[in-house]
Amino acid sequence: MGRTVEGLDDMRAMFERWMASFPDMAARVDMQVAEGDLVCDRVTFSGTHSGAPFREVEPRGAEFSFTQTTVCRIDGERIAEIWEDVDWAGFMRQLGAS
């Protein structure tokens, strides 16, 4: 479900697509741990699918909530690598996808 994001412009475009589909989306940082060059976050996202279609699913006003665990490797002052774990199937079921 996820895809590779390359650079700031690609990241900005991804956020713009998400906000177009979920204009009230909120993120809550539940936990953050750092050790060495790694930073791990557990974030809960929630909102309503009330904007544009998402992955060909038409908006129906479905509310959603999902958690994402992200590990970032830092190199200097930049993020060099990111690994994410999300229950995409559960998220899409909440939107009404079959």
- pTM across the whole model: 0.85
Confidence of residue 6 (pLDDT cuts 50, 70, 90): confident
The DSSP secondary structure of the chain, one letter per residue, reads ------HHHHHHHHHHHHHHH-TT-EEEEEEEEEETTEEEEEEEEEEEE-SS-BTTBPP--EEEEEEEEEEEEEETTEEEEEEEEE-HHHHHHHHT--
The CATH code of the domain that includes 47 is 3.10.450.50
Residues of the domain holding 52: 7-95
Question: Is residue 35 in a domain?
Answer: yes
pLDDT tens, residue by residue, 51-90:
999 998 999 999 999 999 999 999 999 999 999 999 999 9
What is the number of structural domains in the chain? 1
Question: Is residue 1 in a domain?
Answer: no
Question: Is residue 2 in a domain?
Answer: no
Q: What is the model's pLDDT at position 2?
A: 58
